Amino acid sequence: MKKLLVSAAVVCLLGSATVAALAQGYGGMMSQDSPGWMTEMRHMNTARMEHRVSRHLGELKETLKITPAQESAWAAFVAAMAPTRPALDKLPQRAELDKLTTPERIDKMRGVRQQHLADMSAAMDKRDEATKALYVLLSPEQQKLFDSTHRRLNR
């Protein structure tokens, strides 16, 4: 029983030390002037997503064997499929939010959220239309390949 208590105490101490070290490490990124670690993570994830999308589109182009006649529709499709970046410059700064009351802050962030959702919806509509425009130019064999690939992506 005594070993169990000692082990639990050691685990708690190690956990506390880890939390303290992480807090110190993130301290510089969490200043009021800095957007914070979430922005840093968002940029890393966006770069990774862009790489994956680019690789997938390259593979899809090879699989479909896009012809020169289909190239302009393909280019529009690729442009529409580019991952959209959140408009971080549209986010209110912490100093701006600190001046607002809680209800005002809620309303401000609601407006930011609604704009973000509208931007996302517009980007998805653009992707849908570019996909349809490309699809009608594909041969029946290419359409079957595209259907099977697209089906796998939407599971």
CATH number of 34-153: 1.20.120
Q: How far is CA 71 from CA 48, 61, 74, 151, in A?
A: 26, 10, 5, 23
Please check whether residue 130 is in contact with residue 81, taking contact to mean a CB–CB distance below 8 angstroms: yes
17-27 mean pLDDT: 47
Q: Is residue 90 within 8 Å of 115, Cβ to Cβ?
A: yes
Mean pLDDT of 97-123: 91
Q: Has residue 10 got a pLDDT over 50? A: no
Q: What percent of the chain has pLDDT over 70?
A: 66
Average pLDDT over residues 15-34: 48
Mean pLDDT of 136-148: 94
Q: Which comes out higher in pLDDT, residue 118 or 39?
A: 118
Per-residue pLDDT band at 31 (split at 50, 70, 90):
very low
For the segment 35-44, the average pLDDT, to the nearest whole number, is 54
| CA–CA distances in Å: residue 140 to residues 39, 51, 147 | 44, 29, 10
Q: Which of 69, 82, 84, 83 is nearest to 134 (CA)?
A: 69
Give me the chain's average pLDDT, please.
Answer: 77
Do the beta carbons of residue 63 and residue 145 sit within 8 Å?
A: yes
Whether residue 110 is predicted with pLDDT greater than 70 in this model: the reply is yes
